[in-house]
Structure 1
């Protein structure tokens, strides 16, 4: 450039030459004439060369480029090219005038006229368009977090009442007293909590009912108690109560139990109940296993075993310690082996069998307790699942399938509230989700562009304010003032390193994404027009009883019931599959079309993938085991040397030499090692269970000969055993050599390199197994998602099941298979090629230690894994929060992680299964398991309440799977106990049975082999385990076929019906009541319009519906109940009326009757035999009333005052006419007793429904 006041020149870093000004002026002339974008740097150089008279400007390329850059900078900053003036005239101007003019120009005009034409995003002009950018609000993000993360939301106010009369009652009993009172006033109470000895609390009373409750109070046991509510928060106009800080608040971690956690769903509450159950039960089993633990510890810490190094580490408290003593002819409790050891081990086996039976008993109790826990949780968590069924098997293309007609079909089970018919919208959801991702990317890009423009404006204004005085003092040179240079460079870094092309590329990306979005939107619109296929239907009844009846009649999971479906239960001759409906929020609408063969193919492919992943993870163990096979098991060197069997220092005297002499001896030993493997030495009998048994003393005079005996491998195996003896003593020295701290002067590292690597792999295998377990955890979710389950609960259940099997196989079965040496299965590649033909004591020192270390590692790693991930997420949120460009980005950062429900269940189940499998031989795994359950409970509770989002409302399916899987752990325990306790090295009592030997001969191998069943089953230890296992399996078969057995017994003994009599009590109100009282939780219907996740995607096209809230009930939906059902309902109403009149006539019940009527919680199951005795053994002393156990309660209706006559309500001349206890209704005393029993059960049902 010339010396014009308006024109910036080249940057200060450009070189100065006499003709630089002429070059700059020539460049400017060329650019002004041809334009900025239409001429290349090469063309500029050629024309400038021509103008300057043919100067060679090859070495002046930087000068020319600097002049071009200066020109471009000027245009970018000021919006117009510099003016052309005579360079010579400009140079003659005075320096002072140039300085003053430039400073005045920059100070006055630059901040007002700067426009980032090409570098600004979209040509935004500072001061105008950039103001449209709004930074995301942290307050809105925190509000969003309160709605999606785990927070306790109060729907009302807690009301307290206090009186000494409350001391003898728990919360459920108090609820029984006050439920009817409050229901009559329109106040719905779901839960009463005992706050202290004489104080109780009603949770979440609606705001509108507080005043009525405080005014009326409640009556408990005849005592009037005043109610006092918490302070009601003031709600401002336009603000909902849920937005108030004291209505949405974090849970108290230390005071939150399974029932409170069950507010997030029955499945969540049951999971935490299972963890506490596991901690208590396995702590108790560990205590009951104290005899086994003491025997193993006594053997492991035996002085002989400790001095000889029999077993070590994790193998000390195992059966291997007993086996080592027995092999050395040492007794468990004495210095020599005796028959007492056999008796001790038989007693230990019987104790383990008893523990297996006890565990089965506790599992069945768990099933019952889970039902009670689920019921106690479900009392205050009424959802649409309690009233709904899911119908599969509908004709997909039949236009005559409508919600109205489906409702008429299912009204035979009761009044139908709503029918929602799902449509095939899977492709729409997939396309729209892809479109949503693109929309999100476009919004983020545009927000970043606008944010950077606004930031540029802010920075420029800061520069102007700070640098004003510097502008005035800046010399008006031909170079641009420094402040603009810094501003331009800063802006260059902000926008893709300052290249105009990068900005244009970003704009092109936005345009490309918007074009793609438009195409996706068009495809979605076309798909919505072509939706015709039906998928499944969700039928919602008015009552829970109707839903249960429909499920009971259709009998899901029974192939015979499906095949021989009655005609009236078919729909258009189609055999429907009816199951209990899922939670509406867990329905995966995109997967509903995956049924039949398509679903089977997906599941088959997923299982193939699971097997492939297991093969890959198992290969790591195989690789580790192959390295370990290069060295033998740990040899008892001292014992072999003391017996004169292995004289290593004589055969290979490298320790007595040094330098090259020592290396020569070691190389000779390595020559022997290369000719043999540990497996060959074990097969030839030179090494047996870590002991050298081949005598080599006869060869000691010939240590230098390489031809000891060519016909055997004794010399080679001796060299192998000596390598173990040498290298064990030089572990630290070899480690220093490996790290480079020392040099291998004597050659020992060359000998011990493979030994150290093998021992390192042995220790690393446990860590590798734990790492692969985590990888399995992540991969199982991918396979299960591919299977396309219809609900999230089914998806999580599938993940848990696959992961449970994978963890058990990876942590327990793969090590057993890889390290086993089974001749009969030698044809299997890579497997059964190990060194252990049986579970000898050296097996515990290697494989058992691996399994134990894996269990201990998992017990720590599983709980820590999720906490570490959660803390990392919080750290990531803090780091990235300030960089969020949009509100959605900031909201996503404030969302916590998903709660890994399926992973947690699978980990707990696999830990339980593996510990139970080996608990008979490695009993210390049981206390480790108990500690794991406790750690998992506290970790999962903290993780859920502080680091996770709200989980879906899972049902009890996964808890049922856990309870169904647990009994098989006892079967596995007995199987492995029978196998390990019948090992030849274990002290045991034997017997012989000729018939048994003849039966087992065809399948039994030779004596001493792996499958020598004859010898094993001659042991009382194996027989005891096998017998117990058979009895447990027989019990399972009886439980599975309970219905068939019940029918068979009733056919033989009709009067035994009372033995199987059960009363199922529903505590769920009608759906209309739940809706009107506001106690229905979750989504109010299965319609997509109520689902915030799917409605924005598919709108009203995802389903068709009939009925529902505020909609007319179609004709024919009122219920077409069978005549038999009508008679039963009439009978129930009569009995209920009789009980109610009994209460009115009796006045205030006696204390005994009140307790009997209050104490029923959940499902009331009362079993009475034909003699009049109930399940508690009460006799006929109640004279047929069914309350024989209450006859002596003072003041009760059955109290005869000691006069030996019936109570006044039991007499046939009772004045309570509606009971009809006379001859007009019943012709015999038997009928009289039956009526009283029904009345009692109905009263219990009435109270249960109220509570």
Structure 2
């Protein structure tokens, strides 16, 4: 057996950290396998409608821009033919100096653009229709907790869970309620808990550094032992504060989540509490139409998934959220204004320098300077966007939205506004005249380089997270604890609001500048292909799986896309009228005018009243096929953080052991090691990570270990005691070793949940003697609880008084007795 030798601490396992990181990233199927990169898009619906709609919308946009590029080829051919004598590759592709022939302005420029406009208007209608149909299909394909749950608002503060159960089950006969969770004020508790988790990792790392220095024989750094004591004391103080918050009378937020046992109960509840406009008016006049809880009419809506809820934000009133949102919008607009001012100064200096060079007849130098300054401007705009992204993310957190979906929607609105203004429109707004847009180094030359930079740079950093790579390969090799190594190897978070905003930025550049510079259509189509591959790879192989999101962000994207299309109409009207020869009427302005009328019809005609385009609400379908909620495997439940157990420094610092799995065939008494031993794989595994380290072990216990088997057997996990505490350690622990403040015998811990005994359990070992000295290996007995599945944590007190963390392995079933030899 290999293990930790006396005086030599164990090094953190990089392979274990990597396996843990792989288990956290990407989307998993029903067998917990990461989805294939080449798999169908419908599998991405496991992460919510918003994720699948993102990739499908991206595909449809790729097709639309390919059609736009085909139509724009007509204008591009006319531009390059008319500008062939300019010898300026970028300017030659624009509508700029050409169009002296009035007939070509309409036939070769206005009409192809108008057809492209119709393509994108049709796309917006199509996306609106598909949002409903895909939401319905995703809801049908995947059964989740949300299929059984409703969210309630306006719950009186004195209401208890039993009253809500009585209201839904007996008073209104909606069916059996599987769970009721009232939302309590818990922002302070969550803040303390997050601080405790950071201190826990810091304590493990500091302790590991202390042990490594002591084992090396070098003098110990001054103050480290005191730092360990300080961290432990702060953690204990945080535990006491969290326990105090739990013991106090809890203050409800007015929100609650109800899970019905059947989907029919949820549908009946939503129908009874959903009123149309006429019914709502009658209700406001004092007539009771919807069911009431006492004298209160509850607001009942479809509930978000449990992973989508921000419990600590439920206590913030809607008016406060709106005020915070307005403030963040003002700050974001101010940041964009600062960017506009810098870009305006940059443009003025560029124009003065070009004028100076042209005055000296240095035309070649002026052209080179203009092209160089266009590249620099593109880099500056891209860098400013990165800073805006960081600032907007922090501002959106300040708003304290109730759900992750609402947070992503708000983040998308602010990011898309900042991106479109800063990267698409500011270079036009700071330009002094439309006639200067088409010169070398002008607006369209800058736009071309911005489109090129936007096609590659954001997608590169989406796949290659510099901060994550730096943590893993520059910082992680020098850490001493497994907890810190695991933290550094954790995958980064994925934000669908940020991904949607980046997609809108790319589309906006294509729609605004493509009509007058058709080559941008081709670049945008290629950029969307890169975005598709980079985003899919990032979600499946780089980032953590985001919480389940509904179609809310996709609806916001469609609305923002309509305003981008309108901006394109206005810009094209300006271009066509500017390039028209003075004093001539050619009718080119008619096509943008018609386009504006069609856009107004799209925007203001209530198409959402049509059943095929209305927002999807699951009040009629039977997606679960009558299956009860209790039969749903691995279903999450709603759990307010303040209702969870207070973390303990003793359990957090419990020592994991390395073990060898041995089956004691029939006749073994389980106490003295008698009986014939059969090895299952005979390889070392870590009980604290048995899922990750159990390669080669059977996935299920042999027949003799199954319930009702002919010869009851026991499973023994054998390991030598790692090491006695150092001689310098005082009785009861030392700096770097958790104090045994809680005495937990093995059998007492195992019986904390209901236990179904398959065999008589041996009595627990006697209490350990005060001095933490181990004279010989000892055997502890644990009965697997009924509710302790694979991965459940059991805390066992060893004979030396130390706490041992034991994880229930895959080969253990309810009621089976197994032993830990220490």
TM over 0.5: yes
Equivalents in 1 of 2:64, 2:583: separation in Å?
Answer: 30
Change (3 A) 1:350 1:409: farther
Give 3-state SS (helix, strand or coil) of 1:504's partner. coil
1:320 aligns to 2:96 (yes or no): yes
Change (3 A) 1:888 1:297: same
Aligned positions of 1:481-500 closer than 5 A? 491=218, 495=220
Give 3-state SS (helix, strand or coil) of 1:145's partner. helix
Structure 1 position 813, deviation (Å): 2.1
**1:430 aligned residue:** 191
Equivalents in 2 of 1:910, 1:511: separation in Å?
Answer: 51
The match for 1:524 among 236, 242, 249 is: 242
Post-superposition CA distance 1:899-940 (Å, at most 9, x none) = 232221110012212321333223222222211111111111
Equivalents in 2 of 1:1045, 1:953: separation in Å?
Answer: 24
Aligned positions of 1:407-556 closer than 5 A? 407=168, 411=172, 416-456=177-217, 491=218, 495=220, 503-535=221-253, 536-544=255-263, 547=266, 551=270
User: CA contact under 8 A between 2:447 and 2:513: conserved in structure 1?
Assistant: no
Give 3-state SS (helix, strand or coil) of 1:275's partner. helix
**1:1032 aligned residue:** 599
Equivalents in 1 of 2:273, 2:583: separation in Å?
Answer: 54
User: CA contact under 8 A between 1:424 and 1:531: conserved in structure 2?
Assistant: no
1:130 aligns to 2:7 (yes or no): yes
Give 3-state SS (helix, strand or coil) of 1:136's partner. coil
Post-superposition CA distance 1:573-627 (Å, at most 9, x none) = 5554443211111211111111233222322222222122222322321231232
**1:285 aligned residue:** 68
User: CA contact under 8 A between 2:152 and 2:298: conserved in structure 1?
Assistant: yes
1:611 aligns to 2:333 (yes or no): yes
Equivalents in 2 of 1:768, 1:861: separation in Å?
Answer: 13
Equivalents in 2 of 1:962, 1:839: separation in Å?
Answer: 33
User: CA contact under 8 A between 2:97 and 2:438: conserved in structure 1?
Assistant: no
Structure 1 position 1034, deviation (Å): 1.9
Equivalents in 1 of 2:552, 2:610: separation in Å?
Answer: 22
User: CA contact under 8 A between 1:314 and 1:853: conserved in structure 2?
Assistant: no
User: CA contact under 8 A between 2:83 and 2:98: conserved in structure 1?
Assistant: yes
Equivalents in 1 of 2:92, 2:274: separation in Å?
Answer: 53
Give 3-state SS (helix, strand or coil) of 1:421's partner. strand
Equivalents in 1 of 2:172, 2:581: separation in Å?
Answer: 67
**Relative to structure 2, which stretch is displaced further, 428-437 or 406-415?**
406-415
Equivalents in 1 of 2:453, 2:54: separation in Å?
Answer: 22
1:364 aligns to 2:125 (yes or no): yes
Structure 1 position 793, deviation (Å): 1.9
**1:1086 aligned residue:** 638
Structure 1 position 788, deviation (Å): 0.8
Post-superposition CA distance 1:284-333 (Å, at most 9, x none) = 222133322222232232x3x34xxxxx343322221325xx3xxxx4xx
User: CA contact under 8 A between 2:190 and 2:641: conserved in structure 1?
Assistant: no
Aligned positions of 1:756-795 closer than 5 A? 761-795=373-407
Equivalents in 2 of 1:1090, 1:376: separation in Å?
Answer: 36
User: CA contact under 8 A between 1:417 and 1:540: conserved in structure 2?
Assistant: yes
**2:20 aligned residue:** 144
Equivalents in 2 of 1:1075, 1:581: separation in Å?
Answer: 18
Equivalents in 1 of 2:97, 2:265: separation in Å?
Answer: 62
Structure 1 position 898, deviation (Å): 1.9
Change (3 A) 1:357 1:400: same
Change (3 A) 1:881 1:844: closer
Equivalents in 1 of 2:97, 2:170: separation in Å?
Answer: 69
Structure 1 position 808, deviation (Å): 0.2
User: CA contact under 8 A between 1:556 and 1:577: conserved in structure 2?
Assistant: no
User: CA contact under 8 A between 2:174 and 2:266: conserved in structure 1?
Assistant: yes
The match for 1:857 among 433, 453, 456 is: 453
Equivalents in 2 of 1:769, 1:443: separation in Å?
Answer: 43
User: CA contact under 8 A between 2:27 and 2:34: conserved in structure 1?
Assistant: yes
Post-superposition CA distance 1:16-60 (Å, at most 9, x none) = xxxxxxxxxxxxxxxxxxxxxxxxxxxxxxxxxxxxxxxxxxxxx
Structure 1 position 408, deviation (Å): 5.2
1:631 aligns to 2:353 (yes or no): yes
1:817 aligns to 2:429 (yes or no): yes
**1:1223 aligned residue:** none
Change (3 A) 1:947 1:524: same
Across the aligned residues of Structure 1 and Structure 2, the Cα RMSD in angstroms comes to 3.8
Equivalents in 2 of 1:1082, 1:528: separation in Å?
Answer: 26
Structure 1 position 986, deviation (Å): 5.3
**1:223 aligned residue:** none
The match for 1:591 among 313, 328, 348 is: 313
User: CA contact under 8 A between 1:383 and 1:1081: conserved in structure 2?
Assistant: no
Change (3 A) 1:365 1:546: farther
Structure 1 position 1041, deviation (Å): 6.2
User: CA contact under 8 A between 1:429 and 1:1097: conserved in structure 2?
Assistant: no
Equivalents in 2 of 1:962, 1:610: separation in Å?
Answer: 19
Equivalents in 1 of 2:440, 2:456: separation in Å?
Answer: 22
User: CA contact under 8 A between 1:855 and 1:925: conserved in structure 2?
Assistant: yes
Equivalents in 2 of 1:606, 1:797: separation in Å?
Answer: 14
Aligned positions of 1:540-939 closer than 5 A? 540-544=259-263, 547=266, 551=270, 561=280, 565=284, 567-569=288-290, 571-574=293-296, 576-632=298-354, 720=356, 723-726=359-362, 728-729=364-365, 761-819=373-431, 835-836=432-433, 838-840=434-436, 842=438, 845-869=441-465, 873-874=468-469, 876-939=471-534
The match for 2:54 among 260, 263, 271 is: 271
Structure 1 position 860, deviation (Å): 1.2
Aligned positions of 1:48-87 closer than 5 A? none
Post-superposition CA distance 1:1051-1081 (Å, at most 9, x none) = xxxxxxxxxxx999725125644642x4x56
Greater RCO, 1 or 2 (C-alpha within 8 Å, sep 6+):
2
Give 3-state SS (helix, strand or coil) of 1:321's partner. coil
Post-superposition CA distance 1:660-694 (Å, at most 9, x none) = xxxxxxxxxxxxxxxxxxxxxxxxxxxxxxxxxxx
Change (3 A) 1:986 1:366: farther
Change (3 A) 1:1064 1:364: farther
Select the structure that is richer in helix.
1
Equivalents in 2 of 1:794, 1:510: separation in Å?
Answer: 40
**Relative to structure 2, which stretch is displaced further, 591-600 or 879-888?**
879-888
**1:340 aligned residue:** 103
Give 3-state SS (helix, strand or coil) of 1:539's partner. strand
Aligned positions of 1:70-109 closer than 5 A? none
The match for 2:41 among 232, 253, 258 is: 258
Change (3 A) 1:1034 1:844: farther
Equivalents in 1 of 2:171, 2:572: separation in Å?
Answer: 53
Give the gaps of 5 or more residues in structure 2: 649-822
User: CA contact under 8 A between 1:264 and 1:953: conserved in structure 2?
Assistant: yes
Give the gaps of 5 or more residues in structure 1: 1-126, 156-247, 307-311, 332-338, 457-490, 496-502, 634-719, 733-755, 820-834, 991-1018, 1048-1061, 1099-1251
**1:232 aligned residue:** none
Change (3 A) 1:884 1:409: farther
Give 3-state SS (helix, strand or coil) of 1:781's partner. helix
Equivalents in 2 of 1:927, 1:552: separation in Å?
Answer: 49
Q: How many residues align?
A: 639
Change (3 A) 1:781 1:575: farther
The match for 1:1042 among 580, 602, 609 is: 609
User: CA contact under 8 A between 1:265 and 1:955: conserved in structure 2?
Assistant: yes
**2:744 aligned residue:** none
Structure 1 position 445, deviation (Å): 0.9
